[in-house]
Structures are given as structure tokens and as C-alpha cells.
Structure 1
Amino acid sequence: MRHMKFVVLIMPFLAMYFNIQAQSNPFKAPLYWNPYEYNFTTDGPIPESEWSANIDWMDQNLKQHGYHMICIDGWGENVPHDQYGYRTSHDGSWTHDYAWWSNNLQSRGMELGIYQNPLWIDRYSADNGALIKGTTIPLSSLIDDTENALWFTWVQVDRPGAEEYVKGYIQHFADMGVTYLRVDFLSWFEDGYDKNLGTVGVNRPHSEYETALRWMKEACDANGMFLSLVMPHLKNEAATEIEYGHMVRINEDVGHGGWQRFNDFERGIRHSWWSQWYNTFDGYTYWSHISGRNKMILDGDFIRLNTMANDDEKKTVISLNLMAGGPLSVADQYNTIGNDLWLYQNTEMLALNQDGFVGKPLFTNDPTDESSQVWAGQMSNGDWIVGLFNREENTRNRSLDFSWLGFSGNASVRDLWAHQDLGEMSSYAVDVPPHGCVILKVVPTGSGHQSQMNVAGTFTGWSLNISMSLVNGTWEARNVNVNAGDHQLKFANTSDWSGDDWGDANGLSGTASLTTGGGSNITFNIGQNGDYDIFFDDQSLAYSIVDSGCNSGGCIT
């Protein structure tokens, strides 16, 4: 394994070039069930009886492990709509509508997720005189009859009533208690291009795409709803989606499943359209540069464990989704899961999701570089989680030098799939089988500190000219002059950014993460001009920024 330090150093420049401003994401990746497998294998809507049977199975087997949501998918036929043109049920054959199922799930301690694009218009409702809710504007006025679009009738967002219709659609679901919205076919709306079908609609001005996403985000935020963006082109390094979504798809549909779809499909080839990376592993690896704790969540699509060849492949699927901070979106069914349920029930792995953990490739986000198969990240308590993956067809030796994680000395190591403590050690190496992985918890036990520590930020022009002193096990920089306002900073163990650095947090105190290679900064706000003391523990990664006067009795707290 090569330590590709020169590769990761390009990442800060990538982020600066695109000026990506990530929102603070209040959600963590969901654990849930979706009927995609039934829909895909039958090419039709799921009967209500099968939907109900799968809910019972989830209730009995996975709800207690944190899988609290059941999300419907597409394929509905003869779909009922209300007087405003809003969809009310999955399929015309169903006895119960969405509102009924939402109440039913809530009574079980679960919730309903909805698959629907608020930019779609039901032609039947429009042709029969539906008015946009809260207005006297005909729904039909939002339709461009000259628009030659495949499958869907799209809202014209530049017309009166469009905002009311889109936001009203989201409110329609929110009023049922729905807190998760999965919005599909965004690339078709954005520029009307599909890689397989060619032209499927209109190439719209970017402002219209942005407006549509902004309306959705505003309506979702008003209702505490999770907004999942599906099939986006992710142009300009996903700048628009980062601003307006909570989660974004980063690979093709799972389809027939199997290792081919997860790992081999168009491996290492980047495209300029949806989806830029076709397989799950490539997508998670490359797009890791936009993810992070409280940032954009990456969505690797549904999981069909029953299509994988062996337990090594199955553990890799679960592990990569959790290591990347993505969802576990179960598409296996009560009658197809076989003996694989235990893989969804590994409490030591599920702890990553509960913690809001997000890992990244340790050396590079280039999917064509084998060193991208080593992942790492930190739990909120500072414990390291390391993923040693093997995407290849032959056994690979994967090694871990703890200095790569930013600390020296020994650490206690635990295998999260074997549920076994491996003891205290100074490094680790293992032969990983083809398509397999080893997931470790690494907890530093030694007393070693970095040989030096410096701090830089907006208040230094990002020059590492403030050296810190190690006092009683904590690095400190005293009497640093900082003006009032919003600021950013990072800690670094060199004076020229050639080593490791730590950031990726928010506020005057918190826990930083290793961000070498382009991770985000620590952001904070200073209320008034003055001198401040900055503290950083390079083992627990706790930091704080305190008014210098407070340390000599000058502040009342």
C-alpha cells in the first residue's frame, strides 16, 4: 500500500476552485426498507399485501436496530390524486392511501417515506380543471404543451403558481406526517438528457433547476423533512445539490444487483452525465470529497444482499455504505433475504450510523488508485474507524500505520465484524480476501503527541505562523488577535501544510477530525475584536477558542 500524500494535496485546491459552501445538515443517513427489488423484478407496482408483509418483517426484525422508515418507490399504476392534482396512494389497486399507511407506521414506532417529484403534474387532474391549492390558478397553466418530454409532464417554474404548487405538494405529504422525500429524475428536468435514451426533455436554464431545488428545500426545511435528490447530473462538483439537498445519489440504480453492479460496472470511468460514476464503490470513493459529518450525505442506492455471491461481498456492501456515512436502504424482502438478516443487524457496525460517522478514503479519492481502498474516520468520541477494503480479484495485503491517522504510539484494535479485540499494537496488517474487507476500531493508548502543532485561519491569511505550545498534554496558542465576525481555522503538524491537518467542525469548541487532503475547516464566530486563547488536544481532538480574559478571571460565565 502506497501512502499517496502528493495525491491528496490537490483536494484543498479543488474545493477552493468550486467555492463549495456546504450547508449544516441536521440529518444523518436513514436506515430503511424500500420495495425496489419487488418493483424491479416484476416491473410493476408492489401489491398492498406484499407491502404489508414486508412491513411486518421489518417491524419484527430490524426496527429495534434503528430501521424506522418504510419508503415507497415508483411503478404505481392508475394512481389516485386529490382535487389539487397531488398523489394520494401508490396504486389504484390499494385499499389504503398514503395517509392511512403513515398513521399505521407511526402507531408502530415507524414512519412513511415518499417517492415523488413535486415537479411532476398529473395530466388527468390538469385536464379536468384542478386549481393550484390556495389559488384560483388552473393547474393546466403550469404545463407547456409544446414541451416534448418523455414520461413526465413538468412544471414550468417561471409561471405564476409554480412555487405554490411545488411547495404545496411537499406540504401535502408533510401533513400526513411524512418526514422523508425522495425526488427522482432530476437530470431529466435539468437538461432533458439521458445517457441511454438521448433527448428526453428540455435543456433548461440553470436558474430554473436551482429555483426548483430551492423551493423544495425551503418547503422541506419548514416541515423538518429530509430531502433526498436522485439522478442529478452533479455538475460543477455538485455545487447546486450541496446547497439544496440533504442526500444525493452518486451511482447507478442497483438493478439486478451483484458484485458487478456494486464494484465492476464501468469501473474507473468518469462520465459527464448522470451518473458520473456508475458503480457504488467508485461513486462513494470520488464523491467523498463533498461528504462529512453534518454535511452532504452520499446515497449508494438500494441494497440487495441476496444477489451477492458470498459473505465477503455482503459484508463489504454493508461496510462501505456505513464507512461513507451513507444509508442502509434494504431492498431484500421477507421472502428473499434467506440467511442474510444478521448482516443488517451488526450492532457494532450500526453504531457508526447512530453516531453520525462519516469516513473517507485515507489517501486519495481517485477510484482508479488502489490506495483509495483504505478508509478512515473518527467517531464523535475520537475513536478511529478504519476500513481495509479489497475490490480486486485476488487477496491483497492491507496495512495500517497509525501515524497515517495522526497519532504515534500504541492503540487498542477491535475487529467489528469478528466482534473480537485484537489487542494493543503499534501497527496492523492483514490479508484481505477478494471482494472482502476488515473494519477496525482503533483507540490510541500511547502518550505520544505530535512533534509540533501550528494553527492558521482566516485571521492569519492561512499562513501557519502561529506555533502552539504543548502544556499538560494540550496544545495552546495564547493571546491570538482575532477580529469580530465569521472565521475558519485548521490545526497542522507542520509549518508549510506538508503534513497532516485537522478541522471539520463548527463552533468555539468541539471535536475536530483529520482533514489532510482537503477536508473542511473549523468554522466559528467571534463576537468582538480581541485576544483569544486557542487549545487543541491532538489525541482526543477536542478544541476550544476562549477569550483570553476569561482565563485570568476577566469573564463571567
Structure 2
Amino acid sequence: MQDSPTALCSVGLVVLAIALNALGQTGSNDQQTKLAMTPPMGWNSWDAYGTTINEKAFKANANWLAKHLKAYGWQYVVVDMEWFVTNPVAAGNSKTFQYSIVDYGRYIPPPNRFPSGANNAGFRPLADYVHTLGLKFGIHILRGIPKRAVEKNVPIEGSSYRATDAADTSDNCPWNFDNYGIDSNKPAGQAYYDSIARLYASWNVDLIKVDCISSRPYKSDEIRMLSAAIKKTNHAMVLSLSPGPAPIEKAAELKKYAQLWRISNDIWDLWHSTVDYPQGLGDQFANAAKWAAISEAGHWPDADMLPVGHLGPTPGWGKQRETRLTHDEQRTLLTLWSIARSPLMVGGELPAADEWTTSLLTNREVIAVDQHSADSHQVLATDKTVIWVSKSVPKQEYYLAVFNIGSVAQETHYKWQDLGLMAGKYKVRDLWLRKDLGLKKSIRSTLPRHACVLYRLSQ
């Protein structure tokens, strides 16, 4: 029997559709692969606003970042947790939260906090505003499906399923009341994650920080499902996992599905903590060293936000304050994060930043260590001193960071060979002082408690 022109045309259209879909999916995978080729830099609302961030405050911080920091590589602005409640509290959880949820059980920003999101516009107008500044827009979510959506058993957008089909009602985040976990054994669970990923793509979101997913509990299936949902949108979105510490034995899986993952619990403005939450700056040295070999373009162990500047008006932990880290400790914070190649997300209220804080965040030579180095690793660690080395890319130079983690001032003196550096002499530049120190056969430093030096070494 001879094929009709209509039949041939139909077959051709089907083949073309399959090819275009495959091409689109490949494009999506390529986009995700090329995300976060250097550690993302930006600002997150949690350290300054807790759960109370609103559109006016968010825009003020975005505007300040665009004016003062964008030229130095800072580009993300991220709305942290509970942006979807109408009655936020200063920090943490509340069983009296009133949620802004529409249609298919998906959270949207309430107009009393984000007026541009009225009439179900969601975050698209705010994302568009951020993009006009030349910045990128991120949001925080909690893994799972809203308990309110399950109570009402709403339909899941784009599917024949309903909320109760997707929820695992025995799975509750131990520190948050908003959501149930997703039942990964049911296709309805993937359908729900697909639906929220489509929503965030329609808002033009650039980064999704997902909480209660990468530590206590570590939710392998939900990480995989969220990654798959993002890829299906054909819209590039960085996937950032929180909190920590993520298990290092899951490093290969984390690199397969996410761009960023936390290596510790929340870091705040203290040196050392005797409790699990919060953690202090001094506690982060061991974590950073453990994860150093895992970092690579597109996949970054995340040492958490930078609690510098004004932590207020309603910080996520403690009372409104200026950071309690000393100037030396703040330089140590930026130096460790940079030589470990962590994402850099400022936590303080940007419009309240003083001259010191601004100078801390606008040192191009220090930022280059974070953005353009390789083979970062710890070469020495005692109870008093920690030393890291990395290579400058693309130049044949080295970066050297020496930290005094002890409680009193100390003098350090090392020959280059002691640190795995084989040349007899190096030209030394102090990156914090922006000062050339000349040709040296060894390095000698006198460091106050919790202070550091950061050098660039060249021949």
C-alpha cells in the first residue's frame, strides 16, 4: 500500500517533535552543566532579616549591591525563608503562620510583603527588576509539599494527581512546620516538584536554595527529583542545598545533581561554638579542609553566608547588632572562604554597610583568589596555625594564606619548601594590604589572635 502525503507529513512532524524535544533537553542539560563555573557571589536576606524580608528592603539591598559591589563580581540577590507567609516572625518557625498559597498548592509571595506580586504575578516582577540591575535573582524553599495543600488535597498542576498522592505525611522537617516530605516512590511526587520548577522558571528565577534536604535528614531521592525537575524546565537555575554538614561520602551524588551544598550548620558571628547551632568561624577550618579536593567548576562546597556588617533589623539568629567578629576575624573569614573557593554570600544589611565592610567586600585581589584559583588545599594544621596554598589561574603563581587560630598573638616563620613550594625565592605581595613585599627566601609573619595574611607568590 502506498503511503499518503498526509501520513508522511504526520510521521515527519512526530519525528521533528521528538528531535526538537531531545535538542531542548540537551540544551537544558548543557545550561545546568555550565552553571556556577566560578563560586557564586551575592547577598542573602537571612542574616539581616530572618523571615521578615519584604520587597522594599529587598530592593534597597539589590540597589546597593548593584551600585557598590556588582563591578567586583557580586551578582546574586536571594530572598531567604518564609517569603510566602503573611505574618512573619523575626527568626525561625511559628505554628501561627498564615500562608500565601494559590491554585495548585504552590506558595506565592503575599502582596502585603511583596506588592509587585499581586494578582498572582508571583516573583516575576521582582525578578525582572533585579535583572534590569544586571543581577541574578534567587529564592529559598523548603523541600516537600505544603501541609495546607495536603489538607485541602488540591490538584497538582500539569498532572492527574492530587496533593495527598505526593505527600509523605510521616516525613516532617525537624525544625520547620511548613511542609510534608515528598513520597519518592510515587510519580505524583515528581509531578509536584516538576510543577514548582515550572513556576519558578516562569518567574525567571536564577537560583533555588532548598532547605532541610542535605543534612539531618539527607534526602537523596528528593535531591535527585528536584534536579530532574529543574532540567525539564529548559531554564537555567542554580540548585543550592542546605543545611550542612552534607555527608562527604555523598560527594559524587551531590556533584551529579547540585551546584552548591553546605558543609556545616549555620555560621554566625562568633569564633567557636560548643553547641551544634550555630557554628563559629573557627569551627569551619576543619570542614573546609575536608571538602577542598571536591571543588570544581560548576560544583562548590558552600561554607555558608558571611555574617559581616549590620546584622539586622531582624537577624535570623540573635538580636540586631553589628557583627561581633573583629576586623582581624572578618579578614580571616573572607580569606578562608576565598582560598577554599566557597560561594560568597554576604549576610549583613547592605545599605547599612560602613566603610570597613565595603572595603572588605571590594578587594579585587582577594576576590580573585576565590574566583580564579585551583588546587586549593591545606598544607599545615596545628592547634595554633593553619596554612593553605592554591594556584593562581591562568598565571603560574601561588596564593598562600597563613592563619593564627590560637588565642594569643604568634610569630610564624616557614621556608617555601616547608609548604610544598619548590622555588628558592618568590616575589611576595600582601593582598589585604595591596603591597609588594619584595623577593623572599622564606615567609615570616607576626599575627594577632585569629588574624591572617594572604599572599600572592610569583617568580
TM-score by length of 1: 0.63
1:54 is aligned with what amino acid? N
2:429 corresponds, among 395, 398, 414, to: 414
1:320 corresponds, among 336, 340, 345, to: 336
1:85 corresponds, among 105, 111, 116, to: 105
Matches within 5 A, 1:470-485: none
2:57 is aligned with 1:29: no
Decide whether aligned partners of structure 1 residues 148 and 429 sit closer, same or farther in structure 2, where only a CA change above 3 A counts.
closer
1:241 is aligned with what amino acid? L
Give the Å deviation of 1:315: 1.0
Decide whether aligned partners of structure 1 residues 237 and 424 sit closer, same or farther in structure 2, where only a CA change above 3 A counts.
same
Matches within 5 A, 1:137-536: 137-145=161-169, 150=174, 151=177, 152-186=179-213, 190=217, 209-221=219-231, 222-232=234-244, 234-235=246-247, 237-239=249-251, 240-254=253-267, 257-258=268-269, 260=270, 263-266=271-274, 279-291=283-295, 293-294=296-297, 296-306=299-309, 307-339=323-355, 340-355=357-372, 357=374, 359-363=376-380, 369-371=383-385, 373-381=386-394, 382-403=396-417, 404-443=419-458, 445=459
What do the CA deviations read for 1:58-109 (whole angstroms, capped 9, x no partner)?
A: 1211112111110010133134334222223267532023111111111110
State the distance in 2 between where 1:421 and 1:149 align.
52
Give the Å deviation of 1:374: 0.2
Which segments of 5 or more consecutive residues in structure 1 lack a partner in the other structure? 1-22, 192-208, 446-557
- Equivalent in the alignment of 1:124: 148
Q: Secondary structure at the match of 1:248?
A: strand
Q: Secondary structure at the match of 1:161?
A: helix
What do the CA deviations read for 1:334-393 (whole angstroms, capped 9, x no partner)?
A: 3542332110000111122332546221136xxx6545x100101222210110111111
State the distance in 1 between where 2:279 and 2:447 align.
29
2:247 is aligned with what amino acid? K
Give the Å deviation of 1:178: 1.6
User: Bigger shift: 130-139 or 102-111?
Assistant: 130-139
Q: Secondary structure at the match of 1:363?
A: strand
1:389 is aligned with what amino acid? F
The number of residues matched between the two structures is 387
Give the Å deviation of 1:185: 0.9
TM-score by length of 2: 0.76
State the distance in 2 between where 1:336 and 1:84 align.
39
- Equivalent in the alignment of 1:530: none
Give the Å deviation of 1:407: 2.2
2:108 is aligned with what amino acid? T
CA contact (8 A) 1:325 1:358 kept: no
State the distance in 1 between where 2:280 and 2:68 align.
36
What do the CA deviations read for 1:128-148 (whole angstroms, capped 9, x no partner)?
A: 453222211112221244556
1:50 corresponds, among 52, 57, 75, to: 57
1:60 corresponds, among 67, 80, 85, to: 67
CA contact (8 A) 1:45 1:91 kept: no
2:124 is aligned with 1:99: yes
What do the CA deviations read for 1:224-258 (whole angstroms, capped 9, x no partner)?
A: 3221111245336333434432221122213xx32
State the distance in 2 between where 1:361 and 1:232 align.
21
State the distance in 2 between where 1:236 and 1:64 align.
34
2:273 is aligned with what amino acid? F
State the distance in 2 between where 1:169 and 1:69 align.
21
Decide whether aligned partners of structure 1 residues 37 and 370 sit closer, same or farther in structure 2, where only a CA change above 3 A counts.
same
User: Bigger shift: 276-285 or 384-393?
Assistant: 276-285
Decide whether aligned partners of structure 1 residues 402 and 52 sit closer, same or farther in structure 2, where only a CA change above 3 A counts.
same
Decide whether aligned partners of structure 1 residues 237 and 184 sit closer, same or farther in structure 2, where only a CA change above 3 A counts.
same
State the distance in 2 between where 1:266 and 1:243 align.
34
Question: Which has the bigger relative contact order, CA under 8 A and spacing at least 6?
Answer: 2
- Equivalent in the alignment of 1:71: 78
Which segments of 5 or more consecutive residues in structure 2 lack a partner in the other structure? 1-32, 87-98, 118-122, 310-322
User: Bigger shift: 410-419 or 156-165?
Assistant: 156-165
- Equivalent in the alignment of 1:463: none
Question: Percent identity over the alignment?
Answer: 21
CA contact (8 A) 2:401 2:453 kept: yes
The root-mean-square deviation of aligned C-alpha atoms, in Å, is: 2.9
